[in-house]
Structure 1
Amino acid sequence: MSGAPRAAPASAAGPGALVLVTGQFPEPNETFIVREVGELVRRGVDVTVFSLLPPPSVIPDPEARALVPVAVYPPRPGRLLVEACQTVRRAPGPALRALGRGLRDVAAALRTPRLAVKQLAVLPLALAYGRRLPAPPCRLHAHFASLPTAVVRVLAAFRGTSYSFTAHAYDIHARANRRQLPARIAGADRVVTCTAYNRGLLASLARDRADAEKIVLCHHGLELAAYLPGRGRASELIVGGASLHPKKGLDRLVGACARLAARGVPFRCVLVGDGPERTRLERQIRGLGLAGRIELAGRLPHRELVALLRRAAVLAHPSVVDRRGSMDGIPNTILEALAVETPVVATRLSGIPEVVLPEHTGLLVEPGDVGGLTDALARILLDPGLGRRLGAAGRALVLERFDLGRNVERLARLLGGP
């Protein structure tokens, strides 16, 4: 797991090789990518993941650890420029074509200087990865329409081939990223996204009808055999989080917990994950006198998170739009909760209403509405029968639409893989 890159194995040269570019692999908050890669590998697809960052220092999830060998990681800083220069020397024509593509994309991002600097900074890595591409034919695909797609565009120019990408959440909702999307859609031969809301947004940004028709919906999936319905639930347990970022709206959940306490509604709340909001949430919890009732559990191994969801009376996911314009798509934690028959209280935002169907699989409130969130949580906490009904319907929806095997098979067909 060192920073030294792994050369692509000789077997990757076969037809149908797939190169996935992503920000960090495995990223603890992007378990859907880990599952997708694992399923592709199990199906015999020759996958190489180009990670833009080194792996995390600790990878608690065994499935994620097992996939580290399929990843190529950045060279150490002292080696990176050497490898980029070697690419230029050994393949000057393709390298200059790729460099031109990257510099034009940097120029297009100059309205947001920080984004332009990031794109410029990854150009040497993109060139270094160019010489590690499997022999053609191979599919070049990026996860996230932001920096990974900037890199995959450079790699496609180097190889003289097409590319595709999957769009998720912050990469298309953050305003700075959104300005880059029309050109990235136009240059791709396929654009995949995970919610109907996203598909509509991307189509509205496409330059013409032909570009809009490239955009297809393909849901992520769960390995459903690992998600058994919960038994012996803790009737007072609220679970929230998965990461502590502003768009998760967890300060609203803490506020709702204070109102539940004032009403005398029995509850205990566990907030899972880590992130930049942790200190602010700690202060808020102490200030409201809720230190004995709200626990910040930190980042949990995936199996422990699923076990916690199986015990919970309700998952609270009060997503909001953050200052950058970023928001969730269909949060993975919502799917996992529904899969184990845990009802969900969430906000009417982005792709969430596609799975949290009001009064059917969960309850929806408006973003930022602490009073509505309090009322919805109280309904489920005080009426276990309602929670059971919503949870059962939620599991049925996930079984129908979010099976990992079926959805990865569809993705492989969309990308022209084996």
Structure 2
Amino acid sequence: MNSHIAVVLKCYPRLSETFVAQELLELERAGFGLTLVSLRHPTDSKTHPINDEIRAPTLYLPEYLHHEPGRVFSAWRKARRLPGYRLARNNWLRDLRRDPSANRIRRFGQALVFAAEFPQGATWIYSHFLHTPSSVARYAAEMQHMRWSASAHAKDIWTSPDWEVSEKLAAGDWTVTCTAGGALHLKNLADDPDKVSLVYHGIDLSRFSPPPAPSYARDGGNPRDPARILSVGRAVTKKGLDTLAAALARLPAEIDWRWTHIGGGELSEALKAQVTELGLAGRVSLHGSMPQREVLAEYRKADLFVLPCRIAPNGDRDGLPNVLVEAQSQGLVCISTPVSGIPELILDGETGFLVAPDDPAALAATIENLVRDPGLRRRIGEAAQTRVHTAFDHRGAIGRLIARFVASGVVPSKPSAEKIAS
């Protein structure tokens, strides 16, 4: 078997999915040939430098079937002659009866185009996220009589129905996921628990080298040099940014601080309105998405990183937000919550602090304590930085992923990649 993998992605490139881009780049460096298959066209106006380094071509599937009816019809005429078309169609019809939605119809139409325009030389399908991308991957793999695997993350694990997750785990060869909690949940749903493996994302520490001279001097007592609080993430319910805003409004008046948030999202306007209503607008800067190098500069300016994650009413939650790993790599103390895989990174009181979700009073007290105590921030920040360097270096993570591919017969073309996989 050769080393060419068709990678199915929901949207490529995407600023909020640096961890995906980093993985793709490392797979290329290891000697795998890739073709990226994106279900959507990008909407971000900027990209990360990582994306510029990825050489793989991208096949964009019809985002909405009615926009390209000729392409979809032509694909159907070709795909219906493929050896596994009947199996894929029957499985899709069964899924459609349980989930009679336009999205389910769109998934099958995209799978038809993927199967009909299948990348030349590709011998394996690998999908990022277990929901929509893995539906398209599964249907196309069945049509092509091809093996496939998946990487599961957060929303795709916790908001997909159990029947769908179980059937995808059974249909694929293996699945990796990025938190121990997610791995346990998937193992409980799998026909064979050994098909599920824990593989942390990690970060490329060469891109997050330690700051030249980290400062822990600010204590919130100088209005000309206020304590700097940072958060990074999409403005969506599970990030808990409303809790952070409420907590900041509770801080004593004598503490001087500024809050910077980076990341767009569906709740951006609501967050801005909340900040104004709380009378915090003069102390708060809300930004949209930024390239990685600009985010890194903000980590290095900050005194404290706060992301009070929660489980959303629909069950959506983070896995282990990479921004926490990035912030800690800079010696920045992080405050978050014991949700999903976050306690696997942040050891409360040792490498950061955990507070209960939706508790602005407890969050405010923790922020106040850390702002007033630069020595504590230094001790915890240095411990956090050490933990990231010992446990969350992406080189170990990519090695475990490569090992899964190699065990499946997808062998990279470069001999050096075998060392990485070992």
Note whether the superposition's TM-score is higher than 0.5: yes
Displacement, 1:194? Answer: 0.6
Mapped pair 1:49 → 2:33: no
Q: 1:238 Cα deviation (Å)?
A: 0.7
Q: CA deviation at 1:415?
A: 2.1
Query: 1:71 is matched with which residue?
Result: 58
- Taking structure 1 as reference, are residues 54 and 373 closer, same or farther at Cα in structure 2, changes over 3 Å only? same
Answering whether residue 142 of structure 2 is matched by residue 151 of structure 1, we say no
* Residue 186 (structure 2) aligns with: 202
Do residues 395 (structure 1) and 385 (structure 2) align?
A: yes
TM-aligned CA deviation for residue 105 of structure 1: 3.7
The residue that corresponds to 1:85 in the other structure is: 73
Runs of 4+ in 1 over 6 A off after TM superposition: none
Deviation at 1:69, TM superposition (A): 5.1
Partner of 1:251: 242
CA distance in 1, matches of 2:280, 2:215: 22
* CA–CA distance in structure 2, aligned partners of residues 91 and 108 of structure 1: 19
Partners of 1:314 and 1:303 lie apart in 2 by: 19
Q: Structure 2 vs 1, CA of residues 99 and 276 (structure 1 numbering), >3 Å: closer, same or farther?
A: farther
> What TM-score do you get using the length of structure 2 for normalisation?
0.88
By how many angstroms is 1:49 displaced?
Answer: 0.8
Q: Residue 6 of structure 1 corresponds to which residue in structure 2?
A: none
User: Residue 342 of structure 1 is aligned with which of 323, 332, 342?
Assistant: 332
Deviations 1:179-211 (A, max 9, x none): 4111111111101001111001111222x4xx2
Distance of aligned partners of 1:277 and 1:87 in 2 relative to their CA distance in 1, 3 Å threshold: closer
Give me the identity figure in percent: 30
Equivalent pairs counted in the alignment come to 397
Structure 2 Cα separation of the partners of residues 310 and 179 of structure 1: 45
Structure 1 stretches lacking a partner, 5+ long: 1-13
For 2:235 and 2:44, locate their aligned partners in 1 and report how far apart those are by CA, in whole Å: 19
How far apart are the structure 1 equivalents of 2:273 and 2:35? 43
Q: Alpha-carbon deviations, 1:353-391, whole Å to 9, x = none? A: 000111111000111111111111112111111111111
Counterpart secondary structure, 2:26: helix
Q: Is the 8 A contact 2:259 2:284 kept in 1?
A: yes
1:163 corresponds to which of 134, 148, 155: 148
- Residue 316 of structure 2: SS of its match in structure 1? coil
Q: Is 1:315 aligned to 2:305, yes or no?
A: yes
- The reply on whether 1:293 has 2:283 as its aligned counterpart is yes
**SS of match in other structure, 1:296:** strand
- Cα distance in structure 2, aligned partners of 1:103 and 1:21: 22
Query: Aligned ranges for residues 226-375 of structure 1 at < 5 Å?
Result: 226-230=207-211, 231-233=213-215, 235=218, 236-260=227-251, 262=252, 264-375=254-365
2:170 match: 186
**Structure 2 unmatched ranges of 5 or more:** 219-226, 413-422
**Aligned partner letter, 1:268:** R
Change (3 A) 1:42 1:136: closer
- What is the root-mean-square deviation of aligned Cα atoms in Å? 2.2
Aligned partner of residue 130 in structure 2, secondary structure: coil
The answer to whether the 8 Å contact 1:106/1:117 transfers is no
Whole-Å separation in 1 of the counterparts to 2:79 and 2:348: 57
Letter in 2 for 1:306: L
Moved more, 156-165 or 79-88: 79-88
**1:35 is the counterpart of 2:22:** yes
- CA distance in 2 between counterparts of 1:48 and 1:360 reads 42
Aligned equivalents of 2:130, 2:327: Cα separation in 1: 27
Q: Does the CA contact (< 8 Å) of 1:80 and 1:128 recur in 2?
A: no
Secondary structure of 2:369's partner?
A: helix
Structure 1 residues 313 and 177, CA, compared in 2 at 3 Å: closer, same or farther? Answer: farther
State the AA in 1 paired with 2:258: R
**Aligned with 2:85 (options 77, 81, 98):** 98
Change in CA separation of 1:244 and 1:103 when aligned onto 2, cut-off 3 Å: farther
Relative to 1, partners in 2 of residues 1:111 and 1:127: Cα closer, same or farther, differing over 3 Å?
Answer: closer
Tell me the distance in 2 between the aligned counterparts of 1:194 and 1:390.
24
SS where residue 231 of structure 2 aligns? strand
* Aligned counterparts of 1:358 and 1:110: Cα–Cα separation in 2: 46
In structure 2, the CA distance between the partners of 1:394 and 1:323, relative to structure 1 (3 Å rule), is same
Report the 3-state secondary structure (helix = DSSP H, G, I; strand = E; otherwise coil) of the residue aligned with 2:82.
helix
Take 1:276 and 1:87, find their aligned partners in 2: how far apart are those partners? 34
C-alpha distance in 2, partners of 1:263/1:88?
65
Q: Deviations over 1:130-180 (max 9, x none)?
A: 133244562211100000000010111111122111110000111x44441
Alpha-carbon deviation of 1:80? 3.7
